[in-house]
């Protein structure tokens, strides 16, 4: 088997220990390896780095085990080329599963070029990804607290959600605050309604009539304070994300550079490329994607599409591509494979929003597939279509161009006409088509 890396290492990472196997090809053409166990404290990981540099290791590989690989990656990054690989791609032979065997197996596979590294973005993008994912967590927590408020209102016989569309709108928050104070009757609380909700004052008065005890008021006050806190946190995170994107969009200004220096030339070239602010605005032209969704998508995939060979590679990495499972000429389940869960969840949410935009290509695609394949498969297909569009938009620096709701009809116009003629013939109606005129006669 052809040797690709003559000096490499494999790491089996755990919470408290890291088992390393360094491997090199000596002058006699024979492989030499050494295994050693290190701790995961910073001082221990620095010893691991020195141990690897002692043999002038070229590439280090480790499995993506939870978050335990991140401390190791932080210290090795910048000193060595570090690969993170999918654990399922390096499964050990059953019955030979130990930490030492895992490290040796990783090093051996790497030396022969049998491993493929996972995509790990640069530090600024990783920081941005942490912020966008944390914002998603805060939004989900806010939704959970809102559900708790709804449950509490039901327990107190308050049916506000049956009348008001948004309980946490301007009118709803005023009524909830009045419930916490407990100083107003049902009619006075209903009179706090704003806008079109004032047309439902009798229904609101009935909905606000309940059995509200001091226990309910206390819990409601705590939950409303929690929602206000989460709203503040979400706003602060959003501002920080916007600031980071703006900072990452600024061109670098290297010190002590002359006008003819190569650094200035590279900076000029960077100005012609798409920056983060421009990419967010570009993705905002897609139906179903707003600024927040664009920030989350770009934090996951980045701006450079050359790291993904094709659009199909990107969709497979996101877990939106159909599985490939065929044997003996028979095709088995085509369930989507596991991928970037954060990106997949975000793309599915975007697809739901895009499928509701009337008169668009994505809405037509969803309706066409939902009737035949079901709603869930249709949403995944729409999410994949959007991600393919994002790939080409970032690659070609082009805005989104909607194909229109009649795209599928116009694409196979003749076939559509033939199909409709056959359906009419089955109903006993004969059709004669002459240019743009249609004559009908009973059959």
Segment 249-272, tens digit of pLDDT? 887 655 454 445 544 544 444 555
- Under 8 Å between Cβ of 34 and 22: yes
Cβ count within 10 A of residue 63:
21
Task: Report the C-alpha gap between 160 and 206 in whole angstroms.
Answer: 9
At residue 360, the pLDDT reads 92
At residue 291, the pLDDT reads 94
Give the rounded distance of the alpha carbon of 220 from its chain centre. Answer: 33
Q: What is the mean pLDDT of residues 16-31?
A: 90
At residue 269, the pLDDT reads 46
Name the pLDDT band for 86 (thresholds 50, 70, 90).
Answer: confident
At residue 27, the pLDDT reads 81
Which tokens go with 242?
């916007």
Q: What is the mean pLDDT of residues 220-234?
A: 96
Q: Is the dihedral of CA 176, 181, 187, 189 positive or negative?
A: negative
Q: Does position 85 have pLDDT exceeding 80, yes or no?
A: yes
Give whichever of 5-14, 80-89, 326-335, 431-440 has the largest mean pLDDT.
Answer: 5-14
Give Cα separations from 180 to 91, 99, 151, 161, 215 (angstroms).
58, 58, 16, 17, 10
Identify the helix (H) or strand (E) that includes residue 22.
strand 17-25
Residue 342 region by backbone torsions, left for phi larger than 0, else alpha for psi between -120 and 50, else beta: alpha
Q: Does position 139 have pLDDT exceeding 60, yes or no?
A: yes
Q: Does position 440 have pLDDT exceeding 80, yes or no?
A: no
HEC profile of 348-359:
HHHHHHHHCCCC
Task: Report the C-alpha gap between 423 and 432 in whole angstroms.
Answer: 14
Q: What is the CATH number of domain 7-111?
A: 3.30.420.10
- Under 8 Å between Cβ of 348 and 383: yes
Task: Report the C-alpha gap between 57 and 87 in whole angstroms.
Answer: 22
The lowest-confidence range among 35-44, 191-200, 391-400, 434-443 is: 434-443
Q: Does position 205 have pLDDT exceeding 80, yes or no?
A: yes
Collapsed DSSP state (helix, strand, coil) of residue 23: strand
The lowest-confidence range among 190-204, 226-240, 246-260, 323-337 is: 246-260
Task: Report the C-alpha gap between 270 and 304 in whole angstroms.
Answer: 12
Task: Report the C-alpha gap between 121 and 84 in whole angstroms.
Answer: 12
At residue 113, the pLDDT reads 87
Q: Does position 176 have pLDDT exceeding 90, yes or no?
A: yes
Task: Report the C-alpha gap between 40 and 19 in whole angstroms.
Answer: 10
Q: What is the mean pLDDT of residues 338-367?
A: 93
At residue 92, the pLDDT reads 60
At residue 262, the pLDDT reads 47
Whole-number average pLDDT of the chain: 87
Mark 156-179 as b/e (b = at least 16 C-beta within 10 Å): bebbbeebbeebbeebbbebbebb
- Under 8 Å between Cβ of 47 and 20: no
At residue 93, the pLDDT reads 59
Identify the helix (H) or strand (E) that includes residue 83.
strand 81-85
Indicate the pTM of the whole model. Answer: 0.82
- Under 8 Å between Cβ of 102 and 92: yes
Q: Is the dihedral of CA 220, 221, 226, 228 positive or negative?
A: positive
Q: What is the mean pLDDT of residues 102-125?
A: 89
The lowest-confidence range among 121-135, 331-345, 375-389 is: 331-345
Q: 285 or 419: whose pLDDT is higher?
A: 285
At residue 267, the pLDDT reads 47
Q: Does position 76 have pLDDT exceeding 60, yes or no?
A: yes
Q: Does position 133 have pLDDT exceeding 60, yes or no?
A: yes
Q: Does position 434 have pLDDT exceeding 70, yes or no?
A: no
Which tokens go with 61?
């590989």
Residues 6+ apart with CB under 8 A from 5: 58, 59, 110, 111, 113
**Domains of the chain, residue spans:** 7-111, 126-245, 276-324+337-396, 413-442
Q: Does position 443 have pLDDT exceeding 90, yes or no?
A: no
At residue 379, the pLDDT reads 96
Give backbone dihedrals phi and psi of 72, rounded to 5 degrees, phi first.
-65, -45
Q: Is the dihedral of CA 296, 298, 299, 300 positive or negative?
A: positive
Name the pLDDT band for 337 (thresholds 50, 70, 90).
Answer: confident
Q: What is the mean pLDDT of residues 409-435?
A: 80
The full DSSP string for 312-334 is HHHHHHTT-SPP--EETTEE---
Q: Does position 219 have pLDDT exceeding 90, yes or no?
A: yes
Closest CA to 7 of 27, 20, 28, 25: 25
């Amino acid at each position: 088997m052809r040797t690709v890396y003559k000096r490499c290492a494999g790491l089996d990472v755990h919470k408290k220990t890291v088992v390393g196997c360094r491997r090199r090809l000596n002058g006699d053409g024979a492989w030499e390896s050494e295994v050693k166990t290190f701790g995961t404290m910073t001082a221990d990981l620095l010893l691991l780095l020195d141990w690897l540099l002692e043999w002038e290791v070229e590439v280090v590989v480790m499995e993506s085990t939870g978050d335990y690989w991140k401390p190791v990656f932080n210290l090795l990054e910048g000193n060595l080329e570090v690969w993170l690989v999918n654990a399922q791609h390096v499964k050990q032979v059953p019955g030979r599963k130990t930490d030492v065997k895992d490290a040796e197996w990783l090093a051996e596979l790497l030396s022969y070029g049998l491993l493929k590294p996972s995509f790990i973005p640069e530090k600024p993008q990783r920081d941005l990804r942490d912020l966008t994912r944390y914002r998603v967590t805060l939004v989900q927590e806010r939704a959970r607290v809102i559900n708790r408020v709804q449950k509490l209102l039901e327990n107190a016989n308050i049916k506000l959600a049956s009348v008001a569309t948004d309980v946490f709108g301007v009118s709803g928050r005023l009524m909830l605050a009045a419930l916490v104070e407990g100083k107003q009757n049902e009619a006075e609380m209903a009179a706090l309604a704003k806008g079109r909700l004032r047309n439902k004052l009798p229904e609101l008065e009935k909905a606000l009539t309940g059995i509200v005890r001091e226990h309910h008021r206390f819990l409601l006050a705590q939950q409303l304070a929690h929602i206000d806190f989460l709203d503040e946190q979400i706003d602060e995170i959003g501002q920080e994300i916007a600031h980071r994107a703006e900072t990452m969009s600024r061109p670098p200004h290297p010190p002590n550079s002359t006008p003819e220096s190569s650094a200035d030339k590279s900076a000029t070239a960077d100005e012609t490329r798409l920056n983060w602010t421009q990419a967010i605005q570009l993705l905002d032209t897609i139906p179903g994607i707003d600024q927040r969704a664009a920030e989350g998508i770009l934090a996951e995939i980045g701006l450079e599409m050359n790291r993904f060979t094709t659009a199909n590679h990107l969709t497979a990495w996101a877990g939106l591509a159909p599985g490939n499972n065929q044997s003996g000429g028979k095709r088995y389940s085509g369930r989507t494979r596991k991928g970037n869960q954060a990106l997949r969840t975000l793309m599915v949410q975007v697809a739901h929003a895009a499928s509701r935009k009337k008169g668009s290509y994505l809405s037509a695609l969803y309706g066409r597939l939902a009737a035949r394949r079901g709603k869930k498969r249709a949403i995944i297909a729409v999410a994949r279509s959007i991600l393919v569009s994002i790939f080409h938009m970032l690659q070609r620096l082009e805005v989104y161009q909607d194909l229109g709701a009649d795209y599928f009809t116009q694409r196979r116009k003749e076939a559509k006409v033939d199909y409709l003629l056959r359906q009419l013939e089955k109903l006993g109606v004969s059709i004669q088509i002459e240019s743009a005129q249609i004559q009908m006669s009973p059959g």
